[in-house]
Structure formats: structure tokens, C-alpha cells
């Protein structure tokens, strides 16, 4: 299947002062007139459209995106390494000057201006089939809606710009949340009306992807303070459309969704951000394989290799995830979500728990136990063993979804695997949440049970089924964690449901002491306020953060 190929070619045209991450651009306009004219040609227009996709890689696959969504939740706390622990600790380092916050803000607005450019140039392009042109504009409006959705979820009221910026702009204002959502809804309505159900290039936006995003948008707007009366019902209907009206289907086995190679393109994927081994089109690559991996490479029988990965030790599962979240006797997702065994790749004789043990290539070198073991049980295991009682910031369960043995060498950070942004199983969970919150809990149960039955260990299907008495918002959050663990949705889920502070205090001891109610929004980057004419009076900081 042919994938869409996109690069950062047009980034030089899209740096604007509302979000400038390029150095010194407030002092000059560096737009290339040659490139500017090229954008009005069919080939140039296609390049601008494709570049509008590329900015998704600055969030899905980059550390800043994972830190903003994985850290500081009930799912993951920090490991031993990394400079973004403040996002988990909710301490003074989570400030308007934090680079990851500024970079995300900047990249979203650069992306939006790239989208605006494509939309405005479409009318100038001659020689391109009108149906193709309309489809491309619909793709870009889907993307613009997505970028604004990420912005409004993260920062609340944000600046709206729907026109291509062609010079330095110093004026900016924070628009009300309801206005931002209206922009998102308008773009998605256009996308749904004009996108095809399938695209020749895998990775382009489709009608199904736009309906999926709409379901998430309405579900989130329902609790945003900008809600309309039927937001939950609308979210349910869009989710049902995705489930019923397309060729998507749940895979039989949960583990197959993230299988290396062909698992990235499967019938459960509604939309994914594309990566490839080509450095010219993949940029820095998908780096999530780095962040969830424990320190295995200095332990007996092990050295760093391509198969096991390069361990950055950023994100460590909370005790809640390890000990409470899963029904370990019935749910395949517990075993299928983590790496449990590391096999020897450095043969030799080692001292392990006071014994001299010889390990050969392929022998079990490290075993991560899901329970604490007795001394007698440990004595029988001729390899290193970690149990829940001995997990720490360096040795912990490794989320296996993002591991990438396709890299070219042991030191390469650039991963090649696609990031699966929308999966069909989440549409079932969105439908269930919308039904529950609109007072139709009985109708929600089958959607939850469909997901749980797929995840059941053979013979345990009945144990995995729930009844309406089991269903509340905390159960849905637990089910979303079981199904979507680490998939860059959790912080948004907890904010949307009003559970961020409660569940961080309950399940994340490292974040519990620092988190406050105001942390449901991130700090506006200080550089944005500094650059705006009128400063904080014109572009106020979010409450709780000192400028």
C-alpha cells in the first residue's frame, strides 16, 4: 500500500510571530518568493498540503508530545532520566519558560499557518482537478481542526487565525473556548462532507478519520464550559458512524495491533501519523521507542542492541497500573502491553543473587515478574528477576507498544514505526462514555463488553463482561487506560472527565504533592506573551503560573 510522503519543506514559509520557533524572525520576513510562487502550482500546492501533515510528527512521536500526555497522570510516573520530570511532579519547573511547552505551542501555530496557506492557495492553483483540489482542502481543514483541538485542550482560550500570515504579526488575542470549538466544528463539518471514505495514499485523512475526530471533539466540548445541549449525543452518533459505516474492524488479538511490520497498517487503524526510514521525509523519526524502556543494558547477560532498544528510562508505570488496573487472570492486555523477558545477548558467567550463573545467547537473562516471589521461587530462577516490590526508577515494566527493532543501529534514536493516533476500539469507548454521560448507561454496556471480550484470555470471556451496575466514569477511565495505555490520550482524558487532580493524588505519589486545580491547563509560553504587543494585558497567562 502506498503511503503519503510528506516533509518539512514548507516550514520556512510558516514561521509567524504568534508561534515563532525560528530564531530572530520578528526582525525580518524571510519568505522565499520563488517558493511562494511555486505554492500556486499543482505540484507546489500538493507539497504544501503534504507538509501540513508533517507537523503532526512534532507531537505524535516526539518527547514533548508524550510528556504532555503521559506524564503527570495515573498511568505513568517518571523514571530515572530525562529533563521533563516537572510535568510529572507539577513543581516549579512546569512554568511558562519550559521548552517543551513553548515548542508545542510554536509547532501547532506553525502547522496552522501551513494549513491556512494551503487553503488560501487552493483558489490560485490552475491545472489541478477540482475534485482533487476540494479533497486536499478537506484534508487540510481536518488537520487544522486537529491542531486547534490540541491547542484548546492544552491551553484553553487561544489565538485564532484562519488566514495565511505573510509577514510579522505582533497582535494576538486569546479567543473564548467556545469560539475555538466553533472553528474546529466548522472545519470538521467541511472535512466530513468532502473527504472520501478511502484514499489512494495511506495516511491521508478520510471521512472516517474526520468523524472519529468529531466524536472526540464533541465528547470533550461537553465538559469544556462551551458545551451545547446535545454534545454527548452527537459524540455518540459520530462514534457509531465510525463503528458501523466503514470497513474498520477490531483485530482478533490485541497484541496484533502493535505487531512489528504489518501490524502498523491494519483494519483497526482509523488514522495514523506516518513515519519511514527516509531521513528526508521522516525528520527526527518516531522516538517513543526510547522513552518507555527500562535500563536493561547493564544487567548480567545483556548489552544494548537493536532488538531490545536504547533505554531512556523516562516513563515508568505507576503501581496502580502494575497492581490494580488489570484483571491479570482474565485480560490479555496486561501481558500484551509490556515486555516481560530479556534474552541474553552477552554470554558469560555472572554473579546473580550470590550465585555464579552461566548465561548463553538466547537464555533468559532478565525476567519481570507480575507478582512478588518467595525465596524458594527465586532460587529456582537462574537469571535476574525483578518483582513489583523491587521495581524502581531504572528497572520497571517496559511498555512494548512503541519498541522499534527496525532502526539501523543501536544508537539511532530515529524510529520508523507509524504512530497509531485513532483506533476503532477507542470509538467504542467514546460511544460508551457519551451514552453514560447522557443518562443511557444500559446502552453503553455492550460497547464496553465488545472491547473487553476481545481482550479476554480464552475461556475467561464471561469474567470480562460487565453489567450496568459496574459502569461509572471511573470504570470508563480504567477501561481507557487498559486499552490505550501510553497512547498519548491520558492527560486529556483526566482533564475532560474532571478527574486529573483526584486520580493523580490517588495513584501517582510523585505528582500528588504538587498538583493543583489550575494544572488542568498548561502555562502559556512566556515568549508568546513577551512577543505580543501589549504583553500580558493583551495576552494573559493562565491562572496559577507566574510569568
Reported as a single tens digit per residue, the pLDDT across 418-440 is 999 999 999 999 999 999 999 99
pLDDT at 168 exceeding the cut of 80: no
Give pLDDT, residue 17.
36
pLDDT in tens, 473-511: 999 999 999 999 999 999 999 999 999 999 999 999 999
Which spans in 195-261 are helix H?
Answer: 207-221, 231-244
Question: pLDDT band for position 362 (50/70/90)?
Answer: very high
pLDDT higher than threshold 90 for residue 80: yes
Cα separation, 36 vs 22, in Å, equals 18
The CATH code of the domain at 1-179+492-547 is 1.25.40.390
Q: Residue 83 — pLDDT band, cuts 50, 70, 90?
A: confident
C-alpha span between 302 and 375 (Å, rounded): 24
| Top-confidence residue, 284 or 285 | 285
Q: Of 166 and 307, which is predicted with more confidence? A: 307
Inform me whether the pLDDT recorded for 349 exceeds 50: yes
Q: Is the pLDDT of residue 85 over 90?
A: yes
Virtual torsion, Cα 90, 96, 100, 102, nearest 10 deg: 160
DSSP 58: G
The pLDDT tens digits of the residues spanning 372-430 come to 999 999 999 999 999 999 999 999 999 999 999 989 899 999 999 999 999 999 999 99
Q: List the chain domain ranges.
A: 1-179+492-547, 206-276+416-484, 292-408
Measure the CA–CA gap between 300 and 352, rounded to whole angstroms: 8
CB distance 295 to 313 below 8 Å: yes
pLDDT in tens, 100-124: 999 999 999 999 999 999 999 999 9
Strand partners, 175: 158
pLDDT at 277: 79
Domains 1-179+492-547 and 206-276+416-484 are alike in CATH topology: yes
For residue 152, what are the CA distances in angstroms to 21, 56, 217, 421, 536? 19, 16, 10, 18, 19
Phi, psi of 233 (to 5 degrees): -65, -40
**How far apart are the C-alpha atoms of 381 and 367, rounded to whole Å?**
9
CATH superfamily of 206-276+416-484: Tetratricopeptide repeat domain (1.25.40.10)
- Cα–Cα distance, 277 to 261 (Å, whole number): 13
* Predicted pLDDT of residue 367: 98
pLDDT in tens, 258-279: 998 766 899 999 999 999 877 6
> What's residue 282's pLDDT?
62
pLDDT of residue 13 exceeding 60: no
Is the model's pLDDT at 19 over the cut of 60?
Answer: no
Q: How far apart are CA 182 and CA 179, in angstroms?
A: 5
CA distance 52 to 49: 5
CB atoms inside a 10 Å sphere around CB 42:
14
This prediction has a pTM of 0.94
Helix-helix angle 207-221:424-437, to 10 degrees: 30
24 pLDDT above the threshold of 50? no
The predicted pLDDT at position 15 comes to 39
From the number of C-beta atoms within 10 Å of its C-beta (0-12, 13-18, 19+), residue 212 rates as buried
pLDDT > 70: percent of the chain:
93
Amino acid 262: pLDDT: 63
* Chain-centre distance for alpha carbon 231: 23
| Averaged confidence pLDDT in the chain | 92
Mean pLDDT on 314-337: 97
- Supply 193's cell numbers: 462532507
Mean pLDDT of 8-14: 40
Q: How far apart (Å, rounded) are the C-alpha atoms in residues 271 and 419? A: 9
**How distant is the alpha carbon of residue 456 from its chain centre?**
25
How far apart, in whole angstroms, are the C-alpha atoms of residue 255 and residue 515?
Answer: 34
391 φψ region: left (φ > 0), alpha (ψ -120 to 50), beta (else): beta
Residue 433 neighbours by CB distance under 10 Å:
28
| Cα separation, 35 vs 302, whole angstroms | 51
Cβ-based neighbours of 231, under 8 Å, separated by 6 or more: 218, 219, 221, 222
End-to-end CA distance of the chain: 49
Q: Are 441 and 471 in contact (CB under 8 A)?
A: yes
For residue range 35-49, list pLDDT tens digits in order: 578 889 999 999 999
Residue 6 has pLDDT above 70, yes or no: no
- Cβ distance 74 to 506 under 8 Å? yes
> What's residue 20's pLDDT?
38
CB 541 within 8 A of CB 524: yes
Amino acid at each position: 500500500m502506498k503511503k503519503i510522503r510528506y516533509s518539512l519543506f514548507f516550514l520556512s514559509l510558516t514561521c509567524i510571530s504568534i508561534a515563532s520557533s525560528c530564531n530572530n524572525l520578528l526582525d525580518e520576513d524571510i519568505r522565499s518568493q520563488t517558493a511562494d510562487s511555486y505554492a500556486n502550482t499543482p505540484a507546489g500546492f500538493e507539497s504544501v498540503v503534504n507538509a501540513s501533515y508533517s507537523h503532526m510528527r512534532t507531537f505524535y512521536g516526539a518527547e514533548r508530545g508524550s510528556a504532555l500526555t503521559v506524564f503527570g497522570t495515573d498511568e505513568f510516573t517518571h523514571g530515572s532520566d530525562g529533563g521533563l520530570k516537572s510535568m510529572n511532579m507539577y513543581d516549579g519547573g512546569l512554568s511558562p519558560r519550559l521548552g517543551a511547552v513553548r515548542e508545542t505551542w510554536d509547532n501547532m501555530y506553525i502547522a496552522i499557518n501551513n494549513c491556512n496557506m494551503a487553503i488560501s492557495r487552493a483558489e490560485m492553483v490552475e491545472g489541478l482537478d477540482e475534485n482533487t483540489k476540494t479533497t486536499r482542502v478537506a484534508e487540510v481543514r481536518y488537520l487544522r481542526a486537529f491542531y486547534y483541538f490540541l491547542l484548546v485542550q492544552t491551553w484553553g482560550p487561544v489565538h485564532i487565525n484562519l488566514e495565511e500570515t505573510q509577514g510579522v504579526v505582533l497582535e494576538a488575542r486569546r479567543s473564548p473556548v467556545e469560539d475555538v470549538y466553533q472553528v474546529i466544528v466548522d472545519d470538521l463539518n467541511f472535512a466530513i462532507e468532502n473527504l472520501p471514505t478511502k484514499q489512494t495514499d495511506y495516511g491521508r485523512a478520510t471521512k472516517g478519520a474526520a468523524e472519529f475526530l468529531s466524536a472526540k471533539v464533541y465528547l470533550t466540548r461537553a465538559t469544556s464550559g462551551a458545551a451545547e445541549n446535545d454534545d454527548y449525543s452527537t459524540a455518540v452518533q459520530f462514534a457509531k458512524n465510525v463503528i458501523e459505516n466503514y470497513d474498520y474492524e477490531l483485530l482478533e488479538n490485541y497484541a496484533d495491533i502493535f505487531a512489528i511490520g504489518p501490524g502498523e497498517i491494519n483494519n483497526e487503524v482509523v488514522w495514523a501519523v506516518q513515519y519511514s526510514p527516509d531521513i528526508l521525509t521522516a525528520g527526527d523519526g518516531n522516538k517513543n521507542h526510547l522513552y518507555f524502556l527500562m535500563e536493561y543494558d547493564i544487567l548480567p547477560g545483556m548489552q544494548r542492541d537493536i532488538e531490545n532498544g536504547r533505554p531512556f528510562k523516562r516513563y515508568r508505570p505507576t503501581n496502580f497500573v502494575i497492581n490494580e488496573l488489570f484483571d491479570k487472570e482474565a485480560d490479555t492486555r496486561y501481558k500484551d502491553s509490556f515486555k516481560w523477558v530479556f534474552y541474553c545477548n552477552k554470554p558469560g558467567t555472572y554473579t546473580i543473587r550470590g550465585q555464579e550463573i552461566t548465561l548463553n545467547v538466547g537464555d533468559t537473562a532478565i525476567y519481570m515478574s507480575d507478582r512478588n516471589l518467595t525465596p524458594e521461587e527465586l532460587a529456582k530462577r537462574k537469571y535476574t528477576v525483578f518483582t513489583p516490590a523491587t521495581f524502581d526508577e531504572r528497572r520497571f515494566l517496559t511498555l512494548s507498544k512503541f519498541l522499534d527493532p527496525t532502526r539501523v543501529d543501536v544508537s539511532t534514536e530515529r524510529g520508523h514505526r507509524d504512530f497509531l493516533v485513532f483506533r476503532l476500539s477507542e470509538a467504542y469507548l467514546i460511544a460508551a462514555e457519551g451514552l453514560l454521560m447522557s443518562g443511557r448507561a444500559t446502552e453503553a454496556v455492550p460497547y464496553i463488553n465488545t472491547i473487553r471480550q476481545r481482550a479476554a484470555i480464552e475461556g475467561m470471556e464471561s469474567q470480562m463482561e460487565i453489567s450496568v451496575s459496574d459502569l461509572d466514569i471511573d470504570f470508563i477511565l480504567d477501561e481507557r487506560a487498559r486499552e490505550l495505555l501510553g497512547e498519548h490520550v491520558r492527560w486529556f482524558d483526566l482533564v475532560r472527565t474532571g478527574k486529573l487532580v483526584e486520580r493523580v493524588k490517588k495513584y501517582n505519589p510523585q505528582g500528588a504533592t504538587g498538583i493543583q486545580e489550575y494544572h488542568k491547563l498548561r502555562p502559556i509560553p512566556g515568549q508568546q506573551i513577551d512577543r505580543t504587543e501589549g504583553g500580558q494585558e493583551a495576552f494573559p497567562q493562565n491562572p496559577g503560573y507566574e510569568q
